[in-house]
Amino acid sequence: MSQAELRAHDREDVLARVRAILAESFELEPSSIQLDSHLIDDLDLDSIDAIDLAVELEQETGLRVEEQDLRRIRFVRDIVDLVCNRLVVA
């Protein structure tokens, strides 16, 4: 498997786990959670939900989610990118 294929596979795994966390934590239909889903407009999450999500991500990955990271998250893609980038660095 090439590096690009490995990264794509890893991203798919991360997306699947992020989708599961969002669905379980916020009672969302998994099929409604796509990379381009906006957390507020499409998934109806609020700032308190963002904090809950950060806690879930930290528990799942062991990586600390900083406040400035949370401020940049708007879409599911942003969460997947954050986790993937942090896992590569870790």
CATH number for position 79: 1.10.1200.10
Q: What is the 3-state secondary structure (H, E, C) of the chain?
A: CCHHHHHHHHHHHHHHHHHHHHHHHHCCCHHHCCCCCECCCCCCCCHHHHHHHHHHHHHHHCCCCCHHHHHHCCEHHHHHHHHHHHHHHC
Of 53 and 87, the structure prediction assigns the larger pLDDT to 53
Of 77 and 67, the structure prediction assigns the larger pLDDT to 77
Nearest to residue 77, comparing CAs of 26, 19, 2? 19
Pull the structure tokens for residue 34. 């796509």
How many structural domains compose the chain? 1
Residue 72, pLDDT > 50, answer yes
Residue 3, pLDDT > 70, answer no
Residue 41, pLDDT > 80, answer yes
Average pLDDT, the chain: 86
- Residue 81's domain comprises 3-89
Residue 6, pLDDT > 50, answer no
